[in-house]
Structures are given as C-alpha cells and as structure tokens.
Chains A and B, each alone.
Chain A
Amino acid sequence: MSLIEIQNLSVTFDAKGRAVHAVRDVSLSVPARESFGLVGESGSGKSTILRAICGLAPISAGSIRIAGEAVRDPRGKAFARRVQMVFQDPYASLHPRHTIDRTLSEPLAIHGIGKADARVVQALDDVSLDRSFRFRYPHQLSGGQRQRVAIARALMLEPEILLLDEPTSALDASVQAETLNLLARLRDERGLTFLMVSHDLAVIDHMCDRLLVMQHGQAVEELTRDDLAAARMQTDYARALFDASADRMLEG
C-alpha cells in the first residue's frame, strides 16, 4: 500500500456554466519516504492535483487515499498535521497583514504546540532567512524570501507528507541548492514523503524517484529517474520536454 494513492482523479471547475476539465482520469501512487514529481505543460493540472489532495479543488470523479484511508471533507486538523502544502504563489498564500512571526507561529497555536519562539527562529534558520525578517510583512520581502517563508510555514507542524508546488522556482541557484538540501535532509531524518511540481527537470531528477508527465489535464507518461536520465521516454511530448530542457545547454 502506498502512502498517497490517487485513483482515476478528475477535477472539473464550473466557470459560469462552462466546465473546465482541469484534471482528467489521473492515477498515481507514492510509497512512504519516496518522492514523486509532476511535470508538464503550463495549465495541465499539476497544481490542481495538489490542491485536490488538500480539499481545495472540486473532485468530480476518482479517489484520494492517504495511508489507505479515503480523505474526508473537510480535511480537518489531523490532516493538516500530516499533510502540508507549499503553494505556487507565495504572495497569495501569505496573509498580507500578518508578520512573518505570526504566519509561522499561528499553526503552532492552533495545534497547541509549545516553544513557539524557539521553533520560529529555527524555521527561519532552516530556510536561510536572517532573523531580522521575523517581524516584517510579506510586502517587505523579495519574491524568493516570501517563497522561503511559505516553505518554513509548511514545515512548522512537522508533517509527514509535503506537497510542494514549484518550491524553488523563484530562488536563485544558491538558495535553491540550500533549499533542496534542506528538504532532502528532512526527508532522510524524518522519513518524509514528497509530491512535488517543478518545470525544471533537473530539480525533479535531483529530488524524485519517479515522475509523471502531464499535458492538457491528462497523464502522458510515468518515468523512473533512470528513464529520465537515460532519455528513455515513449511519448513525443515527454521527449520534447526533455529535449527543450535547458539542462546541458551551457556545458554543451
């Protein structure tokens, strides 16, 4: 049994009478302590899959199980302890009038977890943010600094599963490396399971055991990390994505 099990998931939005089929019949499963990547066309439904797991998208068919149990509506507190998501759009996911300190300590208060002060300081250190940022507001940070706050917040409750939507796409190479190293270290130490979206195949290759290529709401092809490294893809779209990847271009 896999920790995350998604079977024949479809998500359909109702945009004023027009049905938007964002995800169509997608299945994937992620065993505990493994990392799974979602890649593919912009608008192909990657974020929607993560949001559906969190109960933030209208599931029109299929099922989502965590550790064998179907997710319940609403997801509730126990789910939040277990599963946390880093959203693609850090600006929209951080409360504009809450300081970073409040953003990071609020989940602790809600779940009755003590030592908030020490934990907030530790979280800032973990994502390489200077402690002077603690009492700033989101608009007083750069894009990459906001993204790191969003990652820090997701880690506050020490979840077992992290859903990461483009977690390093706003970060320069050095901070990206630090963030990926942190995530990999936590995965080893705490036995975390990741489901992550990135448009950067090199990031997915570095972090994930398997990946699913998506296009237009549908699963195109599932690949292992070895398949990816050896360019063993079956479909034209997956190959085009691989070929167009900027990777290797500089070394060229």
Chain B
Amino acid sequence: MSLLEVENLRVTFDTEAGAVEAVRGVSFSLGRERLGIVGESGSGKTMTGRSVLRLIRPPGRIAADRMTFDGQDLLRASERQMRALRGKRIAMVMQDPKYSLNPVMKVGAQLTEGLRRRDRLGANEARRRAITALEAVQIRDPERVMHAYPHELSGGMGQRVMIAMMLIPGPDLLIADEPTSALDVTVQAEVLSILDALVKDRGMGLIFISHDLRLVGRFCDRILVMYAGRVVEELEAANLMQAEHPYTRGLLNCLPRIGGTRGALPSLDRNADWAV
C-alpha cells in the first residue's frame, strides 16, 4: 500500500484580483521511495507540498478527491489529528529555512524543544542528540551554532539546521522543498546521502522538490514535472534525458555548462497549450 495518495488536488487563492489557481488537479502516489517534483517557478510545487500538511493559509483553499497518508484521510482529519502528524510523522523542510525558523530563539533551543517536550529527554541527552544531528549535516562548529540565532547563520547553514530539525523525530514522510539549493556540491552530497539512507534503511518516503534537474535525475526514483499548476509529465528518473514533454525537454536545453559558450542561453518558448 502507498504511504501517500493524492488525487485531483486543487489549491485556490481568492484575491482581490480574482481567483488564483495555484494547483489544478494534481494526482500522485508515493511509496517508500524518492519522488522528485520539478517545474517552472510558480507552477505549484510548494503549494502541493504544503497541502499534504494542510498548511495553506486562508484565503487559500484545498480541495481533492482523495488525500490519504498511511490509510488516514487527511481531508477529514481534525486540526488536532493534523497537529499530531505534523513534524512527528510528516515533516517538511521549507523553501525559506531562515524565515521558517524562529528568529528570536537560539538554534539549540529550537532543535531540542521537541526532544524535551515530546520525547521527554533530559537537557543533556537532548543537547547531545541535537549536536549529533548538526554534525551529520556537516556543520563545522555545532557548539557555536547551538548558541546562534538564525540570522547569524549562512544561507546553507540555515538549510542544514532545518533539515537536522526535521529529521530528529524520525518522520515516515519527509517533504523537502528545495532543501539543498544553497549548498555547495560537496556538502550537498553528504546531505543527500543522509536522506538516501533514511529511505533505504528506515523506509521513509521522500518528496524532493527541486529546480535542479541534474540533481533530481541522479538522486530520485521517479519525477513529476509541473507546469502551471498541473503535472505535465511523470517519468522514471533514469529516463529524464528521454523526457517527451516539450516543457521538460526545453528545461534540459537551457542549462549552462562548464566550458560552454557564453552566448545567450536558449530560453523556453512557452506554449499556451501546456497550461490547458
């Protein structure tokens, strides 16, 4: 049985200028695997991820034919049941990590909060676990970072703190929204290997939202390609280079490459039909 089933998901924002349909009928299912979501900026990737946690703020509205996690109906779950799922069983690494961390609370306190409250660990044990988690994501001086406030971290450190925080409770499903976009390739490789091990060894399900095609192609099992609120193509990651949809093919063409020409990069000729 799948871990997560989403059928015909829609997210709509009522704005003064009319309704904005951010997600328009997205369906997918996820097992204990790595599912990549790529797609145009503004195509609804983040809103799809947030919908699973029902974290769409009004005036945004979620509608779906079906949305179940581990047999539980997410559309009908009470707010209390959702709170029990969030963080503990379904975790999300947000796209703007420094914005999602509490700005007036030290990193260490944020990392240990759940361990102390939920898992009832003592201060020392919680601290030890937090430092181990920071070391795992390649933070150079975890002691200093424990005492730092979010604004004292670099962009990539903020991302890694967020990842460490989300992984501490051992979730069954991790939704990672551009989790490594600020990381250099060597640190990125370490972080990906942690995620990989969780999927392989613990059977965690992973939704990996990224604009980095090369990365998703290598790292994920399956890929959804989104355009204007819809999934326009679904493929095995290994077949990314054989993508058929003109949007996906166009994306692959506009990447710069080391040693490439410095002329203008090919840009996409967006076809109005893709959004239909």
Chain A interface residues (CB < 8 Å from chain B): 13, 15-16, 18, 20, 39-43, 46-48, 88-89, 91-92, 132, 135-136, 140-145, 148, 165-166, 169-178, 180-181, 184-185, 199, 201-203, 205-206, 216, 228-230, 240-241, 244-251
Query: In the complex, which residues of chain B have a beta carbon less than 8 angstroms from the beta carbon of A43?
Result: 139-140, 153-154, 156-157
A177 near B254 (CB under 8 angstroms)? yes
B187 within 8 A of A: yes
A229 near B265 (CB under 8 angstroms)? no
CA distance A53 to B15 in the complex (A): 40
CA distance A88 to B98 in the complex (A): 11
Q: Which of B13-28 contact A (CB under 8 A)?
A: 13, 15-17
Chain B interface residues (CB < 8 Å from chain A): 13, 15-17, 38-42, 45-46, 95-96, 98-99, 138-140, 144, 147-148, 151-158, 160, 178, 181-189, 211-215, 217-218, 240-241, 250-252, 254-260, 262, 264-268
Known: A43-B154, A144-B211. A240 touches B186 (CB 8 A): yes
Residue of A40, A165, A177 with highest tally of chain B CB at under 10 A: A177
Closest to A180 in B: B265
Known: A202-B260, A240-B186, A241-B185. A172 touches B267 (CB 8 A): no
Closest to A42 in B: B156
Query: In the complex, which residues of chain B have a beta carbon less than 8 angstroms from the beta carbon of A173?
Result: 211, 213, 251-252, 254-255
Q: What is the distance, in angstroms, from B58's C-beta to the closest C-beta of chain A? A: 12
Query: In the complex, which residues of chain B have a beta carbon less than 8 angstroms from the beta carbon of A251?
Result: 241
B218 near A140 (CB under 8 angstroms)? no
Query: In the complex, which residues of chain A have a beta carbon less than 8 angstroms from the beta carbon of B17?
Result: 132, 135
Q: What is the distance, in angstroms, from B194's C-beta to the closest C-beta of chain A? A: 15
Known: A173-B213, A202-B260, A205-B260. A15 touches B46 (CB 8 A): no
Query: In the complex, which residues of chain B have a beta carbon less than 8 angstroms from the beta carbon of A144?
Result: 41-42, 211
A247 near B214 (CB under 8 angstroms)? yes
Partner of B41, one of A40, A42, A145, A201: A145
B99 near A92 (CB under 8 angstroms)? yes
Query: In the complex, which residues of chain A have a beta carbon less than 8 angstroms from the beta carbon of B252?
Result: 173, 250
Known: A41-B186, A170-B178. A205 touches B211 (CB 8 A): no
A41 near B187 (CB under 8 angstroms)? yes
B211 near A171 (CB under 8 angstroms)? yes
CA distance A135 to B18 in the complex (A): 13
Closest to A45 in B: B154
Q: What is the distance, in angstroms, from B145's C-beta to the closest C-beta of chain A? A: 9
A241 near B184 (CB under 8 angstroms)? yes
CA distance A244 to B218 in the complex (A): 13
Residue of A166, A174, A247 with highest tally of chain B CB at under 10 A: A174
B178 near A229 (CB under 8 angstroms)? no
CA distance A175 to B251 in the complex (A): 9
Partner of A92, one of B46, B98, B255: B98
Known: A89-B96, A144-B211, A170-B211. A248 touches B267 (CB 8 A): no
Known: A42-B157, A43-B156, A140-B13. A246 touches B212 (CB 8 A): yes
Query: In the complex, which residues of chain B have a beta carbon less than 8 angstroms from the beta carbon of A172?
Result: 38-41, 211, 251
Closest to A47 in B: B154
Known: A144-B42, A184-B264, A229-B258. A39 touches B99 (CB 8 A): no
CA distance A30 to B147 in the complex (A): 36
B184 near A181 (CB under 8 angstroms)? no
Query: In the complex, which residues of chain B have a beta carbon less than 8 angstroms from the beta carbon of A230?
Result: 259
A174 near B251 (CB under 8 angstroms)? yes
B257 near A247 (CB under 8 angstroms)? yes
| Residue contacts A-B, CB under 8 angstroms, 10 given | A15-B152, A42-B156, A47-B155, A144-B211, A170-B95, A170-B211, A180-B265, A202-B260, A228-B258, A241-B185
CA distance A181 to B263 in the complex (A): 9
Q: Which 10 A-B pairs have the closest CB atoms?
A: A144-B41, A42-B156, A229-B259, A206-B256, A177-B254, A177-B265, A172-B211, A244-B185, A174-B268, A246-B214
**What 14 additional pairs, Cβ within 8 angstroms, besides A89-B158, A173-B251, A181-B265?**
A41-B184, A42-B187, A43-B154, A47-B155, A166-B155, A170-B95, A172-B41, A174-B254, A174-B268, A177-B254, A206-B256, A228-B259, A241-B184, A247-B214
Query: In the complex, which residues of chain A have a beta carbon less than 8 angstroms from the beta carbon of B157?
Result: 42-43
Query: In the complex, which residues of chain B have a beta carbon less than 8 angstroms from the beta carbon of A48?
Result: 154
A39 near B96 (CB under 8 angstroms)? no
Query: In the complex, which residues of chain B have a beta carbon less than 8 angstroms from the beta carbon of A166?
Result: 155, 181-182
